[in-house]
A = this chain, B = another copy of it.
Amino acid sequence: MSKVSLYQHIKDHIVQGIGAGRWKPGDRLPSESELVVSFGVARMTVNRALRELADQGRVRRVAGVGSFVAEPRPQGTLLRIASIAADIQARGHVHECRVLAAQAAPLPAECALAMGMEVGESAFHSECVHLESGVPVQYEDRWVNPRQAPDFLAQDFSRIPPGDYLVASVPYDEIEHVVDAVLPTREQARHLAMGRQEPCLLLQRRTWYQNETVTLVRCWHPASRYRLGSRFTV
């Protein structure tokens, strides 16, 4: 009983196949006619799925040749959803995620408004501190729409951080970032082992899937230990 459209189902199948490493950048994807057979749909439907992936730059199509997985474009923290665990490991350091909270809770007004949900509606809430080789670098406060990620609370966040789980398992098609500079609360300063007069870089991210909010996350970073960046060609 899928309520998603056929073309979306095909898109998801391909995106997931790429994400799972079943197809790597440069690999050839099944042709339209092959997908027509394997999904039992009309060619226009397959065509739309592949065309939209090509428009997004995830697939490169060459008439007369075939469809191929595109090279991922390198992007900074502000242009994608960064995995703090992967970033830390890429720097050769050890990542640790301390889970402070992970349960269902009624949405506070401010978050409900930001997520387009009802005040007091039950949603999933998690709080974590991420450490880089023992030094805290991020305090993460997250709310998750249970309709989009019903299995969220069943995860072990000390093994796979909330953000990594969501990126890997829950689809999204739109991202908003808002960056602020703030001073930490007493609690935050304690968790981040920083002074209360030191500034924090606050990154708030909202993601949507088909116009419904998936997650609202606010990440506080001690500015002395973390920066945000992006680089792109115009």
**Interfacial chain B residues near A200, Cβ < 8 Å:** 181, 199
Q: List the B side residues contacting A232 at CB < 8 Å.
A: 79, 174-175
B201 near A180: Cβ-Cβ < 8 Å: yes
* 10 contacting pairs across A/B (C-beta < 8 A): A78-B78, A78-B177, A78-B179, A174-B232, A175-B231, A177-B229, A177-B230, A179-B179, A181-B199, A182-B199
Instruction: Flag whether A105 is at the interface (Cβ < 8 A).
Output: no
Residue of chain B at shortest CB distance from A228: B179
Whether A229 pairs with B176 at a CB distance below 8 angstroms is: yes
The count of identical subunits is 2
Is the CB of A38 closer than 8 A to any CB of chain B?
no
The reply to whether A181 and B181 contact each other, CB–CB distance below 8 Å, is yes
Let me know if A173 is at the binding interface, CB within 8 A.
yes
Knowing A78-B78, A234-B56, say if A223 contacts B181 (CB, 8 Å). yes
A36 at interface by CB-CB < 8 Å: no
A233 in contact (CB, < 8 A)? yes
The one of B79, B199, B228 that contacts A178, using a Cβ cutoff of 8 Å: B228
Asked whether B199 lies within 8 Å of A234 as measured between CB atoms, the reply is no
CB distance from A14 to the nearest CB of B (A): 14
Inter-subunit contact A177/B231 (CB<8 Å): yes
Nearest Cβ on chain B to A176's Cβ, whole angstroms? 4
Whether A176 and B231, one on each chain, are in contact in the complex, defined by CB atoms closer than 8 angstroms, is: yes
A201-234 contacts to B, CB under 8 A, are 201-202, 223, 227-234
Instruction: Across the interface, name the chain B residue whose C-beta is closest to A198.
Output: B183
CB distance from A148 to the nearest CB of B (A): 15
Whether B199 pairs with A183 at a CB distance below 8 angstroms is: yes
Render A162-180 as a binary contact track against B, CB cut-off 8 A, 1 for contact. 0000000000111111111
Docked pose: A227 CA to B203 CA in angstroms? 10
| A110 contacts partner chain B, Cβ-Cβ < 8 Å | no
Cβ contacts under 8 Å, A183 to chain B = 197, 199
